[in-house]
Copies of this chain bind each other. A is one copy, B any other.
Amino acid sequence: MTGTIINGRMTDCVASTDRGLLYGDGLFETIAVVEGEPGHWQQHLQRLQAGCARLGIEAVDELLLAEEYRQLVDGAGRAVVKIIVTRGPGGRGYRVPARPAPTRILQLHDWPDLPLACARQGVAVRMCDMRLGHNPRLAGIKHLNRLEQVLARQEWDDTGIMEGLLLDSGNHLVEGTMSNLFLVRDGVLLTPDLQRCGVAGIMRSQLLALADQLSINTEVCQLGMADLQAAEEVFICNSLIGIWPVISIDDRKYTRGIITSRLQDLLASETEPGWQWRT
């Protein structure tokens, strides 16, 4: 079950002059599909449009995108849809063309093999050596410049390690290579602020809102290794995995705590049946 629609056409061919390829000049979204329906469509679209605005790329036609989504997932049950928007073809040189024609790519992917045990028993993760550079202009959005994540993911091969956590060049906690990070300390749910680097995940926003519903205090703030070491609970999240409790970071052990469990339960109850992260 795969397929690609580029600018409305069933093709898998992108011009080698596309600025998405030349410079990573674009954005993407990774959307969970359950029984043909996209999870958090509005939130993904909103972040995509915010990214376009930040990079100065023309806003995406949301109706068109929704039509193409329907065409692509037709008949698919559980799957992943990746949306990529680039500034489109250009000549040589960083300067944006006078009249850019953005490229709109929708890819249908198989649902990944996410062991149910990861959500139930939790996962082992590691600290990465690579540090994320600061760039407030690029922070928060899901742009196509992802070499830092690629390099970080190359740091381990052990299939027992499910994620690598990243510090920035100032040694502040930021996120995982493919997930956002939450800690619980003194009963407060903490997550790194992403003003200087990192991707502001859709699941991260949703969990901050769910915590409010549960009257759990939350704080988005600057965090470091000392906070991680003092944490009572740690978990990672994204749109596909939902919440994975962290049970070890290198040699340090953690246990799934009550706040993590309550958030997992509420997330499952608010989600269509059959989601992978139901515990």
- CB of A131 closer than 8 Å to a CB of B: yes
With the chains together, A137 CA to B155 CA distance in Å?
12
Q: Which are the 7 A-B pairs with shortest beta-carbon distances?
A: A133-B133, A24-B24, A23-B146, A145-B145, A13-B13, A94-B153, A133-B135
Q: Mark A146-159, 1 if CB is under 8 A from B, else 0.
A: 11111111100000
With the chains together, A91 CA to B107 CA distance in Å?
11
Interface residues of A, Cβ cutoff 8 Å to B: 4, 6, 12-25, 28, 30, 55-56, 80, 82, 84, 86-87, 91-96, 105, 107, 109, 112, 130-135, 137-138, 143-154, 169, 177-178, 197
Q: A56–B14 contact, CB under 8 A?
A: no
- Given A23-B144, A130-B135, A133-B197, output 16 extra A-B contacts at Cβ < 8 Å: A12-B15, A12-B16, A14-B21, A20-B21, A22-B84, A23-B145, A23-B150, A24-B24, A24-B144, A24-B147, A55-B151, A80-B92, A94-B153, A133-B135, A137-B148, A144-B147
Specify which of B56, B94, B145 is in contact with A178 (CB 8 Å cutoff).
B94
Identical copies in the complex = 2
Q: Using A92-B112, A112-B92 as known contacts, say yes or no to A147 and B150 having CB atoms under 8 A apart.
A: no
